[in-house]
A and B are shown apart, each in its own frame.
Chain A
Amino acid sequence: MTYLSAKDLFSRLIKGTISTGSSEWTSQSERQRISAYTRYELEKKPKPLSTDDLVYGLANNAFVGFGYSELRADPLWMSASSESRSWAYNDLWKNRENFPVNIYIGAKRFRRIHPPKLLGCPTGECKSGMEHITLIAMSFLSDHHKMKDNGTSWVDSGNLYGKPDWTPAHANPVSHSMGERVEIQLKLSVGPPSASEEEGIFHGTSPTNIVFTTSPIRVAPDGMNLTMSSEPEPLLPQKVQKLTFGVDWWVEGTSVQLAPDQTSNTLYVTMGVPEDGGDKEAGITHKRMETAVGLVGGIGSLDPHTIVKALMDKVPEYTLVQNPNVPPELDHPKYFKKDAGGAWPIADWMKYYAECQAIVRFVLAVIKQVGCSGDAELVTVWAEPHVDGGKTAIEKVNGSGLRNYSKTEGEETWYAALVDKKPVLKHIYQRIDNNKPNYIGLNSFEACLRLSHAGVTKYYGGGAGTYDSADEVLKAFHALCWVKLLSPNEMNQFTEAQIMEIVHSYR
């Protein structure tokens, strides 16, 4: 909701920068009268509109409406000639303390005041005047044009949305970077063929006050492709969001109006150009874009670190155990099935958590889908006994850590492990029942999303906190130890571990 004083609105109205509001709040009959309007909720303590205000506004081709915010009824529309409605406004206004009042202000459709400027007859023989300017299609030229039309599943499938993006029969969703001008192309049909050429100025107004205007151009019979860039100000808002990008079009100066006179597309406003989100999450699709824009937009920040932190927090814990509530084909908690969308389905199953690497892959996919800036990667972090005595972290993109890191001591084989409890030298721990006091967990790495942006690097553990450095990540563990594995089960997996050496303690 935009909060502006009525005078500001009028002032902006007169300057021609009033844009459309949501069309669902008006009737078809009103739409015929009002080319563009917006709904504003007056400030809590508004300055009442004075008669001067009204005259000021109404005298400048404004339509003004007032209505109850609770009621989705047509507002009371007022114009300079509708004196009979003035009393309705006044009556409403007097009682404004009893109910919220919305003000609706619309730009009166620009109507031709002067006779059309005829430029001649292209065929040399004008038999009739211009009868129609038909809007056949509209295409975005400044969008990303990367999105596939799979809007139902997480799989990277479907066809790239084709151009044009709008016809009377269809409207594609499109993605577009924020803070940019919007460039579009209208495909028009003008007829009849024998009509005189005329001069016209094409206008379009859209939400968020984005305005398209051409210079006076020749409107000639037959087909026309009209390329327009939105005015330098305002640009698309600096906000990740899903917009209904409806544009009301009209043409000034011609003997007939453009018809149809509206286009509407779902516009996903992103931070930048969407990127493929890794191996199993690669692909830009309608469903993924919808989800990513919804998640990131809901955070309300454009700071990559804030975004990543908030996304990681949506899956606050990790698990290594398959949950039966998640369809098996999704491969919870690893989410390795590329043909099921990789980690993307986590969006549907967050409450059942996931492996840390899967959480990281999911967040990476989301931020890349919206073109979030910064250098973000999945890294594994661990320490090795032979590297600075285990004090210094080792980090690697897609590394497997300490797995099978071993040495021979006499006739024994010792394995390096990062342990999750304070170890006691020579103590034998069991590895299969964490309800018993002598349980210990052996780990080979911690998976993190490493994000560098604006000179700040942080490590976001998948369900395991945020760290300022790789060395800090090691504090997720108690110590790096050499262990001897004991008591093999039927799989030759070892159910016990004896601490043979504590290489380095992190806590």
Chain B
Amino acid sequence: MASLDNTGYLFLDTLWQTMSIIDSEGYVPIDNLQQLPDGRRVEAVSRLWSELLLNPAVNPFHLSPPAKHSVHFATPSTFDVLRHDYTADDLRLVVRESVNVMFIRVEGTPGVYDASSGGKIHDHVNALASRTLRIQSSYVGDDFREVSFHWSFRQVAHSGGVPFFSTAPDVDTGQMWCWANRADCKVFNDSTCFLCFKIREPTGGRMVVLDSKHWFDGECWKPYE
């Protein structure tokens, strides 16, 4: 058992590591998301977040032919993950999402940081973000009024040997109001990966915590129905 006071931001490294574990454990292809126990809602939630987080040009639900979907079922050390593989706007994308987070990996990263050309890596990150993410939009603030935001990534540090970026590194994801308050990015040799937090504005009055091991069976929603 750990409390906020002794976890700091270690959880972020744990999150990235867990995704690596999930990738190594693999995914099961699925033709129709509604084959999942709570499939209709899984798809609805995924569609909603794809709308909120992704540039419409790379929304996996807007494609023809459609994106390939696969799933990872939670294990004791992992959580339910839905994966979309597709190409859109000349970008090869792998989107992996739990009920709480969405990783958007751009493979190959064309126009990537090129040290020899003197290109600035944060320019690359922001340029790629503008193609893949809905970097400019609005959310409902804590006074129930519309608040505009515009994401701009800045390099924070090297994390695990790769450059790490965030729009708001000081914001605690455990306490932040909603997804718009922070997004992260890591630049790897062969890809650039954005991390977004699927946190809706807590306008229902309840402090919501979703159990990411129970997305596909719908159990994570039970306390809030």
Asked if B115 is at the interface (CB within 8 A of a chain A CB), the reply is no
Q: Does B122 count as interface, using CB distance less than 8 angstroms? A: no
Question: What class of interface size applies to chain B in its complex with A?
Answer: 35 or more
Known contacts A356-B205, A357-B203: A490-B212 contact under CB 8 Å:
yes
Could you tell me the distance in whole angstroms from the C-beta of B54 to the nearest C-beta in chain A? 13
Q: Give the chain A neighbours of B79 by CB distance below 8 A.
A: 490
A446 touches B205 (CB 8 A): yes
B101:A401 contact, CB within 8 angstroms: no
* Mask: chain B, 29-48; 1 = CB below 8 Å from A; 0 = not: 00000000000110111011
Chain B CB within 8 A of A320 CB: yes
Residues of A contacting B205 with CB < 8 Å? 356-357, 380, 401, 443-447
A319 engages B140 (CB within 8 Å): no
| A329/B51 contact (C-beta < 8 A), A321-B224, A490-B11 known | yes
Given known A322-B45, A432-B210, contact A279–B145 (CB-CB < 8 A): yes
* Interface size bracket, A side: 35 or more
Q: Report Cα–Cα, A355/B203, bound state, in Å.
A: 8
- Answer whether residue B202 sits at the interface, using C-beta atoms and an 8 A cutoff: yes
Q: Are B204 and A328 in contact, with the CB atoms below 8 A?
A: no
Which of B4, B100, B145, B224 contacts A490, CB < 8 Å? Answer: B100
A84 to B209, CA, bound (A): 83
Let me know if A32 is at the binding interface, CB within 8 A.
Answer: no
Report B-chain residues with C-beta under 8 Å of the C-beta of A411: 5
Do the beta carbons of A494 and B212 come within 8 Å of each other?
no
Contact of B3 among A280, A441, A484, A491 (CB under 8 A): A484
Q: Judging by beta carbons under 8 Å apart, are B201 and A334 in contact? A: yes
Interface string of B8-20 (1 = CB under 8 A from A): 0101101100100
Contact A435 B48 (CB under 8 A): no
CB pair A331 B174 closer than 8 Å: no
* Contact between chains at A417 and B207 (CB < 8 Å): yes
Given the known interface contacts A356-B205, A441-B223, A491-B100, the answer about A331 and B48 at a Cβ–Cβ threshold of 8 Å is: yes
B123: chain A residues at CB < 8 Å are: none
- Per the 8 Å Cβ criterion, residues 318-336 of A in contact with B are 318-325, 328-329, 331, 333-334, 336
Which residue in A328, A336, A435, A486 is a CB contact (below 8 Å) of B2? A486
A378-B144, A432-B210, A491-B173 in contact; A356/B204 too (CB < 8 A)? yes
B192 CB–A CB distance under 8 Å: no
Listed residue (B40, B144, B212) with the most chain A CB atoms within 10 angstroms of its CB? B144
At the interface, yes or no: A159 with Cβ under 8 Å from chain B? Answer: no
Report the nearest B residue to A334, measured CB to CB. B203
Contact with A along B170-191 (1 / 0, CB 8 A): 0011110100000000000000
- Closest CB pairs A-B (n = 10): A400-B142, A492-B174, A320-B224, A324-B40, A324-B44, A434-B223, A432-B211, A398-B144, A442-B207, A320-B204
Known: A492-B4, A492-B12. 15 other contacts (CB 8 A): A319-B224, A322-B48, A328-B47, A334-B201, A398-B143, A400-B144, A403-B207, A413-B4, A432-B209, A432-B210, A442-B206, A446-B205, A490-B15, A490-B101, A491-B197
